[in-house]
Every structure is written in structure tokens, then in C-alpha cells.
Amino acid sequence: MEKDLSELFDRNREWAARTEAARPGFFTSLLSNQTPHYMWIGCSDSRVPANDLVDLLPGELFVHRNVANVVVHSDLNALSVIQYAVDVLGVQHIIVVGHSKCGGVRAAMTNQRAGLVDNWLRHVQDVRDANEDFLKGLHASLQVDALVELNVLEGARNVCRTTVVTDAWQRGQTVVVHGWVYGLNNGLLEDLRITADSADEVSAVYQAAHAAVISRWQARSEAIRVGGQG
């Protein structure tokens, strides 16, 4: 165990040396206040490194992560991070990002028990239950990734409904909320087209994005049914 931890310190020193050599003065520049334009709300999954996926340096992306990238109004942790991002840092974009083959979403979809986290994943199961007929109508191989996208839409809508974001919009502050998914199979991000920058458009934007997700996954399921690749 001590050897494994020593390796991490060795890697840290090598990384710091490489970074400073490539960008002299980089670390001293971080001593000033952070001024990120973006906030990323993503999954805790170790395969989804936020900064790396969008090729941003430390200080350029404000990050909050939890199991299955859930955003709910009772989570004071997430709400506090959003409040700090909007009110103190002045981020202009909040992006809720899910990813394909998410283990948390899979557990929620299949009622797989994992312990205390089951209570957290109840939020994802609420999304599943609200879309039960649609999900059951899909080919089994598509259900988890379809729920991943629906969960992102729900999270993005919930961000829009927080007092933090609605208050910011009321005072004319620029805050744009987005919903994306990341493909573990190809390393690419996809925009789910739920993009809102005012309270008035949240409902319409959500409905349009939700309809698009439903249509796309139903088409893939039908392609599999008739012998295509989906």
C-alpha cells in the first residue's frame, strides 16, 4: 500500500515538472483567484475526467461530481457548489454531463442493490418510473443509455429551477444551462439540446429535448428489431 501511494507522489512530481516546463509560471498564476467560465456537474466515475474531456487546464472548469450526476433540490452539497459557482465565481455555463454505460444508472434501471447508495439512486429510479412505458418498449441493450440521457435532462431542468439560477436570471446575469452525454466507447461528447438561459424557456426546452431523446432511442430500438445495427 505504501509503495502504491509513493508512486502517486512520484507521478505528481513528474506531472508538475512537465507542466511547469511546458508553461513556465503556470502554478504561480494559479495563486490568483480562479475565474472559470464553466461549471461541470458530472458522474464520479473514474473513467470520466472532466478537464481532460474538454481539454481545459486547472482553473478553467469548476467541477461537482456525484454518483450518476444527480441534481435534486434537497442536495445542499450540489446547491452550495452551484451557488458558489454562480454568485461568487460568475460562471456563465452550467453543464450536466452523464455518460454511457453508467454503473449507477444501470443499478437504478435494474434494481441492483449496492448499499447506502441505493437511497441516492432512488432519484434516478424516479426518472425511470416517470418514463416506464418508453423504457420498457426499448430493446434491453438500449435501456440503460436511454435512461442516462433522461437523467441528464432531469438534472439540467432541476438546475434551472434552483433558486440560485432563477435569482441570477432575474437580476439579468448570464447563466446558460446545458445537458450533455459522454460516450465511453469513442471519447466524444454529445449535446442533448437542452439549453436554457431564462426561466421562461425552461419548460419548452425540456419538452423538446425529451421528445428528441424518446424519438432517437425508439428509432434505434426499431432498427435492432428489424435486424439493423441501431
As given in the structure block, the three cell numbers for residue 50 are: 472532466
Q: How many CA atoms lie within 13 A of 107 on its CB side?
A: 17
Which residues are annotated as catalytic?
43, 45, 47, 99, 102
The CA-based diameter of the chain, rounded to the nearest angstrom, is: 60
Q: Are 197 and 175 in contact (CB under 8 A)?
A: yes
CA-CA distance, 42 to 179, in Å (whole number)?
10
Cβ neighbours of 183 (radius 10 Å): 13
Q: Which of 172, 130, 166, 165 is nearest to 147 (CA)?
A: 130
C-alpha cell at position 12: 505528481
Cell of 178: 446545458
